[in-house]
Amino acid sequence: MRHAAEISSVAHELAMRASKDGIFEYQLQSIIEGFFVYGGTSGWAYPSIVGCGENATILHYTVNESKCKGDEIILIDAGAEYKGYAADITRSWPIGGTFTDAQKEIYEIVLDAQEQAIAACRVGNPYNQPHEVARSVLAEGLIRLGIINQSLGEALDSQSGQLKNWYMHNTGHWLGLDVHDVGVYKPDGTPRLLEAGMVLTVEPGLYFGAWRPDVDCPERYANIGIRIEDDVLVTEDEPDVLTKRCPKTIADIEGIVGSL
């Protein structure tokens, strides 16, 4: 799994370096998947998601055929498989190499949520604690930006909360011999406690699809889709991020994108 994670991390970095105005989604896909093979893996662990602009706001977009514009965010969810074991990484970055103020505002919220969720991947915590931590951080961030006009408690409500308008999936899943590995999450209806040796993904996101008829998308954030995903090994000590080589800070990303 460490090798699959390492190869996947380098592949994402290569795609960052190759990004530029006018590149096609499938060209970035080919860079990533080509390096999976170059690195000695058996190829992708699941069909790659490569979506720029409004495509980045579609959770399971796999058409991967659009031309990317320099002012758009691209979201790439791609991981390699090595000797049957899967990696699963998502990174989001500006095609042109520099985040706009609006893109940066959303990115910082998602990164903060992800880092706090990773910190919750500790022995003895319920498996869903990283998810609950991420939801709270995302909601707090959107309240600060004025996108959510409810209290934190109201925003997190599963029925009437506004967070679900912009964050509509779980924060992680088991990872191993399948990208969504087997394993019961709630034996007897109770969340399973994390144990040393478990590996799970941590992947919060925010998606502002202007194409959606069910929500009123704020114009400032229209067609910004951000997800950040890493693979985390639960240990007796600190969480071990297997995909830590893959750049994800704003400074690192802006220093890498378009550098080929």
Give the chain's domains with CATH numbers: 2-256 (3.90.230.10)
H/E stretch holding 14? helix 2-18
* Separation between Cα atoms, residue 58 and residue 75, nearest integer Å: 10
The predicted structure's pLDDT at residue 204? 98
Q: What is the rounded (10 degree) CA torsion for 166, 153, 126, 207? A: 10
The predicted structure's pLDDT at residue 121? 98
The predicted structure's pLDDT at residue 84? 98
The region, left, alpha or beta by phi > 0 then psi within -120 to 50, assigned to residue 158 is alpha
* Separation between Cα atoms, residue 203 and residue 229, nearest integer Å: 4
The tokens for 159 are 């029925």
Helix pair angle (101-119, 129-145), 10° resolution: 150
Q: Residue type for 68, please?
A: C
The tokens for 212 are 């959606």
The tokens for 107 are 């990115």
Place of tokens 């991947």: 121
* Separation between Cα atoms, residue 49 and residue 226, nearest integer Å: 13
Task: Tell me the average confidence (pLDDT) per consecutive run of 10 residues in the chain, 260 residues long.
Answer: 98 98 98 98 98 97 98 98 98 98 98 98 98 98 98 97 98 97 94 98 98 97 98 98 98 97
The predicted structure's pLDDT at residue 249? 98
The predicted structure's pLDDT at residue 179? 97
Residues found in the chain: 260
